[in-house]
Every structure is written in C-alpha cells, then in structure tokens.
Structure 1
Amino acid sequence: MRYISTRGGIAPIAFDQAVMMGLARDGGLLLPERLPSIEPALLNAWQTLSYQNLALEVLSLFTGDLPRADLDDLIDRAYSSFRHPQVTPLRITGDGLYILELFHGPTLAFKDIALQLLGNLFEYELKKSGGFMNIIGATSGDTGSAAIYGVRGRKGINIFILHPHGRTSPIQALQMTTVTDANVFNIAVRGTFDDAQAIVKTLFSDLAFKDKYQLGAINSINWARVLAQVVYYVFAFLKLRKSGVDSVDFSVPTGNFGDIFAGYVAKRLLPEGCINRLILATNANDILSRFVNQGEYSIAGEVVPTSSPSMDIQIASNFERYLYYLLHEDGSSVKAEMESFAATGRMDLARFQEQVQRDFAARAVSEEETIATIRQVYEEYDYLIDPHTAVGVKAAQELKQDRPVVCLATAHPAKFGEAVQKAIGKDVELPPVLAGLSKLESRCSVMDADVEQIRAYVQQHALLG
C-alpha cells in the first residue's frame, strides 16, 4: 500500500513514511493510492474477533511492509490500558438507537483509540531510525490530552500542544496542563481552535523548519489517526450483524470531519449496504451540515462557543480528504479548490449534492436541544451522555429511517460536568482518573495567536539531533 497527497504533488510513499510525514509536503493530506475492500466471505470470520484482533486485520490492509507481528504488538500495547475488555462496547438504548462507547481509554475520549496507537507507531519508527521528533498539534479539547498521554515521557519525542485559551472545558484544560513531563509543552492561544490549527499548518508548510526540527503531526491530518478510527465502525457493524442486522447507519458528532471521514472509509471498505448512511451532526458551528444540506462549504461568521467545545470549529481540516473523492481523485482540482477557499472562504459544491446526500445526512443541533437530549436520555434510559454525544443522538432521532443507528459516544460525561449538571440538575461523579486534577501542579504558556511567537517558542524548546 502506497500513499499519495490529495493535491497530487508528491511521489507515492510507504505507510511508515506517511505516519512520520503527517501533512503532505505539498500542503495536502495523505491518502492510500486506492481504498481496499473486504470480501463478504470475510465477515463471518471477522465477527467473532476481539477488538484487538479485528484491528490487526483492518490495519493490515493499509500498513504495507510493517511486519504483522510488530503491528500485533503495537495494537496490544495501545489498548492494554483501556478500562473495558471490548475497548469500544456497544450499548442498547431503545427505539433502534445504539451507543458506541469510545471513552474507555486513559483520557476518557475517543481520541485515545487512535493516539495510543500513534504514540506506539512513532516510538517504533524512531527506534528503527535512531531519530527524534517534535510533535506540534492543535486541539479543540480532547486531542491534546490524548496525544500528550500517548507520548509523555517517551525518549526522542517532544510535544507542543496548542489549545484555545478559555475555550475548552475546565477538565479538558487540566488534563493537558497537569502533565508536567519534561517533554510536554502546553500553549494556550488567545483565539479559537481555527487560529491554532492555522498556525500548526503554517509551521508544517515551512519545509525547511519542518525538516530541521523533524515535525510530527498528531492531529487527524495524520492518516494513521483516521485509520485507527475506521476499526470501531467495522467492529460495531459486525456486533450488530451477529444479531441479524445487515445494514446500519452511524450518527457522528463532528467538527473537524476526521471521525466521520473514518466512517466514510469504513463504508467504502465494507460490502455495499453494510453502512448505509453517515449522519453528520454539528452544533451551532455548522459549516459541515450546511455543506451537506445546501451544497456550499463556506465560513459563516465567528466560531460560537458551545457546551460541546471539541466541535467549535469553522474550518474542517479533514474535509479535503472527502473533497478528493468528490473531485474524482484529481489532485490538481483539489489544489485549485483549496486555494480558492483560502482566498474567498467559500466553495460551491452544489453540483455534487446528489452524491453527498447518498453518503451523508446532516443536522445542526442547538444548545437548547443538546441540553434537552442529555436530560431525555437520562430520564428514559437511566444513561448519561456528554454534550457531544447528545448532538449525535439528537441528529439520529431526527433523521433515523428504518434501520438501526449507532450513535458515537465520543467522551465521558464527567469531562463536561457543567453541561450535564444543567441538564439533569446534579453533579456527575468524577472517575478516579479525573478526581483531584485541580490539585495537581499545572504548567502552560499563554500566547497570542501569532505564528512567529509560536515558532520562536518551539525553537527554544525543541529537540535537535
């Protein structure tokens, strides 16, 4: 399996190079030259596999020359710290709705599923090469802590995480800033996630800077992040198939288009019809739902702070990967569209709306609906969900057809106690991993959203060979 850029400007590269490159050198995002497909006959054998063994089978389709025994070990170590033996258990609520719990990792968020594996992949590759890496990433909430926990204390790796100052939940901020390992650097940016992400992309686009400091990517611009998330879509479908379900929809709360793009890859990977539709759920920051419903991808005003801060995003980094398939895998067309979007903040894609609506349905969910859905699920099913999950559940309730819908539960409700307390009138009991965070030493640098200021900070603290 070889990897190419969505913008067509690099020669095909191997999986290990794709992992270490992160953002493609032409500014595009990396994708496999072709998407593999699973033969229907394999499904019977795969539906009895553990999560780890299924991950080995799915990832092996994409990892090329990585020895199978080594990949098996990387996967086993990645999920050994998860609190549930199934890694991503499936819960029944009722009315044809299922909840896929993705929050049983070290930081209680779905990002752990990919970032525990990615940390192991980085360490594996650096051990082979004897090299070093400076990871730079932006987070709207959960990616930062999951990435930090994935690489904290590892030799040969320093990590710099940018988050929007005051725009994450208090627990999310503490999960990042109370990790004081010598290789961890937290930066609170005075601005939005989009500001932080733009700084990261600018630094990666400076190829001389990227090469000198061996920059590594942990955001979902890194293909390995998306790939690891494909597994739980396949896992959930196979769990339902075992009980007689042959077609399923997924409802995905998303802001950066990474998690739902993993679902799109899973839909292409499985035999036709296994995954019917992907329900794209946004909060008030609705660029993606407007794209699906209106055919226009455009920035509309400022980022609106919500109770689901991980989705408070206007520019979805992974959208470019889907755009590549919409534009018939033509890198030059993708490059032209992305350059036009950078200049105008708008992309007219109405000509593809029929295709888009075969892949996705979409709904934006208001703050009032989010809080009401947390309350409703709690009262009807005695089950507590966080506000991001509530966005996905509400969209599923509104758009459900005649097949089961799996709603992705992307974070533990205790990470968003203020929203949950508002919904149900009582505080959430903190799991042991979160209790006492506020009493720990915290370390963070607050900076303006200025790329040169961030560049200087990285230069001051980066590893060099």
Structure 2
Amino acid sequence: MRYISTRGQAPARDFADVLLAGLAEDGGLFVPEAWPHFGPSDWRAMRGLGYAELATRVMQPLVGAAIPFEVLRGICHEAYAGFGHPAVVPLVQLETGLFAQELFHGPTLAFKDMALQVLGRLFDYLLTQRDQRITIVGATSGDTGSAAIEACAGRERIDMMILHPRGRTSEVQRRQMTTVAADNIGNVAIEGSFDDCQDLVKAMFADGGFRQEMRLSAVNSINWARIAAQIPYYVAAALALGAPDREVAFSVPTGNFGNVLAAWAARRMGLPVARLIVGSNRNDILFRFLESNDMSMAPVQPSLSPSMDIQVSSNFERLLFELLDRDAEATRETMLGFRRTGRMAVAEAVWHRARGLLQGFRLDDAGIEAEIRRLDSESLYLADPHTAIGIAAARAVGCAGGVPVVAMATAHPAKFPDAVRRATGQHPALPPRLADLFGRQERFAVLENDLGVVEAAVRALVGRNSVG
C-alpha cells in the first residue's frame, strides 16, 4: 500500500513513512494511492469478531507490508484491552431506528482514544525498529491533546508538544492534558482559537529546516494513520445492524472533518453506507457549504461544544481531492486560494457531488441544551454537547426505507459537566480513575500566537530531554 499527497508534489510513501511524516512536504495530506475494497463475503466473515480483531482486519490492507500482520494484531489487542466496556464501542438504542455508538470508553473519555491508543504503539514499534526519535507537535480543540498525551507519555523515543486555545476548552479537557507529569510532554495555551493553533502546527511543518531539525511528526487527524484507525468502529456498527445485507446511515458531530471522513472512507472501501450526516455547532462552515456552497471562513465563536469550535476543517482537503477526481493540481490551487481569500471556490458540479454524499445540520447552544434535556427525559440517556448534536442531526435528517441511523457518541458527559448540569440538573461524575483530576498539579505555558515563540518552546523541550 502506497500513499500520495493531495497536492501532488511530495513523494509517495508506505504506511510507516506516512505515520512518521504526518503532513506531506507540499502541505497536502496523504491518501491511499488506490483504495482497498471489501466485498460482501469479506464483511460477513468479520461478523462476530471482537473489536480488536475486527480493527486488525479492517486496517491491515491500509497498513500493507509496512507492519507485519501479527504485530498489528498485537498492537490492536493491547490498545483496546484497557477500555471500560467489554464491547469497546457499544451500541445503545435510543428509539426505533436510532442508535448511539459510544466511542468514549477509553482512558481519556473521548473518541480520540480509539485511534491514538493504536498510534502511540505504532510509533513505539516503528521508532524502535528504526532506532529513531521524533518530535510530535499537535493542536487540539480539547480531546486530541489529552488522548495523544495519554498514548505517548513516558515513551522514550517521542517528545510531544500540544497546543490548545487558552480558555476555550472545558476544565476537564484542559486538566487531562496539563496534569500529566511526564518529561517528554509539553503543553502550551495559545492566545487565540483552535484554528490559530492548527495554523501554527502547519507552519512548523512548512518550515523545512525546523521540520528536519526536530524530526517532526503529527497526531492530529492530518496524520492518515488517525483516519485509518477510526474506520473500524463504523464497520463494527454497520455489521451489528445487519451489514452488508442492510444499509446503515451515520450522523457525526464534526469540526475538523476527520471523524466523518473515516465514515466516508469505510463507504469507499465497500461498507453499505446510505447517508452521512454532518453535525455542526454555531461554527457552521461545513453546514453552510453543504446548504449553499458557502465555504467561507468566519471568526471562531466559543460554544458549549468546544471540540467543534473550528472554521478551517483540515480533513475536508482529502474529500475535495476525491471530489475533483484526484486532480492534485486543482486541489492545491483550491486550497491555496481558500487560505489566501478565506473562501473556497468549488464548482457547482463538485458541490452537488458533495451533497450526494453528505447532508449538513446545525445546532446552536440553546438547541444543544434542549437536546441534552430531551434525551435525559425521553430516552434516559445522558449525552455530552457534541453527542447531542449528532443525535439531534440524526433525528432531524433521518433516513428513509427502514435504514437505521447511528449517531456517534464522541465524549463522556463528565468531560462537560457544566453544560450537562445546566440542561438536566445532574452532575455527571468522572470515572474512579480520574476522580482526583481536580487535585492534580497543572503544568503548562501561556504563549502568544507567534511561530518563532512556539518553535523556541519546542526546541527547549527537545533540548532538555536530549541533554537529560
């Protein structure tokens, strides 16, 4: 299996090199050179498998020969062994034809654990095999940072610096990042939005000298391995509901477009997905695009669902590449124009192709609170704000012909206790393993939105560890 850049000016790589590189040198994102495909008999053969084994089978053609099958199997089994539910990704029926798939039973209570518990171990294996060391830089709107830190803290061959927007995550999200006492981990609160943090990460990768000096890699969903490790849970849900002999629809709350892109990838690999519903909060660039071909940047507005407070959805570039029939030059020009003007120029025919795959939905803070309250009252289900958007989108858009709709439950309600308490009067408790979170010491720096300042902080982290 080989991977190419969406912008066509970076060399093709295998899965291992894509994992370690993160972002392509031309600023593009890696995608499979050719998509693997599973037929109906392949899907049926996966029915009844435990989640770790299912994940191994689904990821194997994407990994190719870069990692031996038995090594990948061992990594997947180890990654999911400590999850807090025996099914790993259980389905909960909310009403007739509507389900929630809970993706928050990992160590940091968010769906990001599904991929990052695998990625941490993949990094460890490959870096040991190659006798190398890397520096991971990542931006987070709340959940990626804690999941990445949990997966990589204490690993001898990795230094990691995570950037988060100051004051724009929940307190639980922030403390999950800043209370981990590991010498190889650094945390920075940036004066700005998540998009500012993400732009700083991309700028560090674009700085060729710095990228080579620090041996940069990424854990954001710009890293293809993140997407690859998220595809299996869509397969698990579909198989549980009758695939490949029955179609299924998915409703995905999204900001950076990585989670819904994994659902699209599952469909591209042959899973019978009838519809993909994209849930947005007040930061509604994806909704505006799908409704009226308006992909224009706007200021990021803080909301009750901070992990979705994003206006530049990086992973959309991968779908755009496919919508443009894999024309790398057209993709490159479209993305450069978007960053230059703040508006993405997409031809009507391309937009209609997108609308044939995706349907948008938007919910503001008042609607989020109302949906959390309704779910608690009518379904006896306690949902966090992001999950509430996904479920509300599934109910509003639905799917005809008896096709079940699965809303992705992306975070535990205890990660957003204030919003849940306002809506329901209940205070969701953290699991016992995190019960002392608010008593732990925090460690992070507050830095201005300046590339030179942030690069200096990364150098200091790496230099401290190389000396030690």
- Output the TM-score relative to the length of structure 2: 0.97
Partner of 2:82: 81
Q: How does 1:280-429 map to 2 (within 5 A)?
A: 280-300=278-298, 302-349=299-346, 350-402=348-400, 403-429=403-429
Q: What is the rounded CA distance, in whole Å, between the counterparts of 1:328 and 1:372 in structure 2?
A: 41
Where does structure 2 lack aligned partners over 5 or more consecutive residues? none
Cα contact 2:334–2:345 (8 A) shared by 1: no
Query: What is the CA distance between 1:216 and its match in structure 2?
Result: 1.2
What are the within-5 Å matches in structure 2 for residues 189-200 of structure 1?
189-200=190-201
Displacement of 1:61 in angstroms is 1.0
Q: Which runs of 5+ in 1 are unaligned?
A: none
Write the deviation string for residues 9-32 of structure 1: whole angstroms up to 9, x where unpaired. Answer: 122111100100000011100011
Residue 366 of structure 1 and its aligned partner are, at CA, apart by: 1.1
Cα gap change, 1:310 to 1:256, in 2 (>3 Å):
same
Find the counterpart in structure 1 of residue 36 from structure 2: 36
CA RMSD across the alignment: 1.2
Residue type of the partner of 1:390? A
Match of 1:181 in 2: 182
Q: 1:29 touches 1:321 (CA, 8 Å); kept in 2?
A: yes
Q: 1:464 Cα deviation (Å)?
A: 5.2
Q: Deviations over 1:307-357 (max 9, x none)?
A: 100000010111110110011101111111111111101012233222111
Kept in 2: contact 1:282–1:311 (CA 8 A): yes
In structure 1, give the amino acid aligned to 2:186.
Answer: F
Is this contact kept in 2: 1:226–1:258, CA < 8 A?
yes
Q: Which residue type is aligned with residue 359 of structure 1? A: L
Structure 2 contact 338–345 (Cα < 8 Å) conserved: no
- Per-residue CA shift, 1:122-179, capped at 9, x if unaligned? 1011101111111100000000000000000110111100000110000000000000
Task: Say if 1:132 and 1:464, in contact at 8 Å, map to a contact too.
Answer: no
Output the CA distance in 1 between the equivalents of 2:434 and 2:46.
Answer: 35
Residue type matched to 1:400 in 2?
G
Could you tell me how far apart the structure 1 residues matched to 2:233 and 2:448 are? 38
Q: Is the 8 A contact 1:171 1:434 kept in 2?
A: no
> Equivalent residue of 1:355, what SS?
helix
- 2:111, 2:185 → 1: CA distance? 21
Partner SS for 2:70: helix
Q: How many residues align?
A: 461
Cα distance in 2 for partners of 1:456, 1:42 equals 50
Cα separation, 1, equivalents of 2:270 and 2:239: 10
Q: Is the 8 A contact 1:283 1:391 kept in 2?
A: yes
The aligned runs of 1:249-260 (5 Å cut-off) are 249-260=249-260
CA displacement, residues 37-85 of structure 1 (integer Å, 9 cap, x when unaligned): 1111112211121111111111111111111111111111111111112
Q: Could you tell me how far apart the structure 2 residues matched to 1:196 and 1:42 are?
A: 41
Query: Matched residue of 1:241: which SS?
Result: coil
Residues 213 and 464 of structure 1 are in contact (CA less than 8 Å); yes or no, is this contact kept in structure 2? no
1:276 aligns to what SS in structure 2?
Answer: strand
> In the aligned structure 1, how far is the partner of 2:428 from the partner of 2:13?
47
The residue type paired with residue 249 of structure 1 is A
CA distance in 1 between counterparts of 2:428 and 2:344 reads 42
In structure 2, relative to structure 1, the CA distance for the partners of 1:329 and 1:464 (3 Å cut) is: farther
Shift of 1:245: 6.5
Q: Distance in 2 between matches of 1:428 and 1:128?
A: 43
Deviation sequence 1:237-262 (CA, Å, 0-9, x none): 000017x9701110000000000000
Q: Amino acid of the residue matched to residue 254 of structure 1?
A: T
Label 1:393 to 1:245 Cα distance change in 2 as closer, same or farther (>3 A).
farther
Deviations 1:425-453 (A, max 9, x none): 12122221332211111101011111110
- Alignment correspondent of 2:157: 156
Whole-Å separation in 2 of the counterparts to 1:172 and 1:111: 12
**Contact 2:168-2:193 at 8 Å conserved across structures:** yes
TM-score (norm 1): 0.97
**Aligned match of 1:51:** 51
* Cα drift, residue 406 of structure 1: 0.0
3-state SS of the aligned residue for 1:36?
A: coil
SS across alignment from 1:162: strand
1:124 pairs with 2:122: no
